[in-house]
Amino acid sequence: MSNLRKIGLGSLILTASRAIVNALGFISTILLARLLMPEDFGLVAIAVTLQAIVSAITDVPVSQALIQLDDPSQQHVDTAFTIGLLRSLAVAVIFAAASWPVVAVFEEPRLANIMLALSASLLLSGVVNPRRALLQKSLIFKQEFAIEVLGKLGAVVLSIAVAFIWHSYWALVVGAVSGQLVTVIASYVFVRYRPRLDLSEFRSLWSFSGWMTLSNALNTINWRSDQLFIGKLLSPTDVGVYTVGDNLAQLPTREATLPLTSALFPAFSNLTSNAPRLAHAYTRAQGLVTAVALPVGIGFALVAERLVPLAMGEKWIPSIIVIQFLSSVFALQTIGSLAQPLALALGHTKTLFRRDIQLFFIRLPIIVGGLLLGGLVGVLVARVISGLIAIGFNVSIVKSMIGQSIVKQLTNSWRNILSVALMAVGVEVTSMLMPVSTEWFTQLLQVAALIAVGGLIYLGGGLLIWLAAGKPEGPEAIALDWANKGQRAVRTRLAR
Residue 129 pLDDT: 93
Measured CA angle at 183 (ends 182, 189), to 5 deg:
90
User: What own/partner pairs with CB < 8 Å and gap ≥ 24 does 416-420 have?
Assistant: 416/290, 416/291, 416/294, 416/295, 416/462, 416/475, 417/294, 418/461, 418/465, 419/294, 419/295, 419/457, 419/458, 419/461, 419/462, 419/465, 420/294, 420/295, 420/298, 420/458
Residue 2 pLDDT: 52
**Least confident interval from 29-38, 181-190, 207-216:** 207-216
What's the pLDDT tens digit per position in 26-47? 899 999 999 999 999 999 999 9
Cα 465 to Cα 42, 67, 346, 418, distances in angstroms:
44, 40, 35, 8
CA proximity to 302, closest of 173, 427, 390, 388: 427
What's the pLDDT tens digit per position in 412-442? 889 999 999 999 999 999 999 999 888 899 9
**Least confident interval from 125-139, 145-159, 223-237, 387-401:** 125-139
Residue 159 pLDDT: 97
Residue 460 pLDDT: 95
Residue 320: how many other CB atoms lie within 10 Å:
19
Look at 238 and 485; give whichever has higher pLDDT. Answer: 238
Look at 61 and 447; give whichever has higher pLDDT. Answer: 447
Q: Is the pLDDT of residue 375 over 90?
A: yes
Secondary structure, 3-state, the chain: CCHHHHHHHHHHHHHHHHHHHHHHHHHHHHHHHHHCCHHHHHHHHHHHHHHHHHHHHHCCCHHHHHHHCCCCCHHHHHHHHHHHHHHHHHHHHHHHHCHHHHHHHHCCCHHHHHHHHHHHHHHHHCCCCCCHHHHHHCCCCHHHHHHHHHHHHHHHHHHHHHHHHHCCCHHHHHHHHHHHHHHHHHHHHHCCCCCCCCCCCHHHHHHHHHHHHHHHHHHHHHHHHHHHHHHHHCCHHHHHHHHHHHHHHHHHHHHHHHHHHHHHHHHHHCCCCCHHHHHHHHHHHHHHHHHHHHHHHHHHHHHHHHHHHHHHCHHHHHHHHHHHHHHHHHHHCCCCCCHHHHHHHHCCHHHHHHHHHHHHHHHHHHHHHHHHHHHHHHHHHHHHHHHHHHHHHHHHHHHHHHCCCHHHHHHCCHHHHHHHHHHHHHHHHHHHHCCCCCCHHHHHHHHHHHHHHHHHHHHHHHHHHHHHCCCCCCHHHHHHHHHHHHHHHHHHHHHC
Segments making up each domain of the chain, as ranges? 1-214, 234-489
Stretch 325-335: mean pLDDT:
95
Residue 57 pLDDT: 84
Look at 269 and 209; give whichever has higher pLDDT. Answer: 269
What's the pLDDT tens digit per position in 51-70? 999 988 887 777 778 887 87
Stretch 270-292: mean pLDDT:
87
Residue 6 pLDDT: 59
Q: Is the pLDDT of residue 207 over 90?
A: no
Cα 416 to Cα 426: distance, rounded to the nearest angstrom? 15
Q: Is the pLDDT of residue 381 over 90?
A: yes
- Describe the crossing of helices 275-312 and 320-332 by its angle, rounded to 10 degrees: 170
Residue 476 pLDDT: 83
Stretch 384-394: mean pLDDT:
95
Stretch 71-82: mean pLDDT:
91
Stretch 198-213: mean pLDDT:
79
Residue 91 pLDDT: 93
Dmax (CA) for the chain in angstroms is: 73
**Least confident interval from 156-160, 184-188, 223-227, 317-321:** 223-227
Q: Taking all residues of the chain, what is their mean pLDDT, rounded to a whole number?
A: 89
Residue 7 pLDDT: 61
Q: Which residues lie below 8 Å from residue 185, measured CB to CB, with a gap of 6+?
A: none
Residue 259 pLDDT: 66
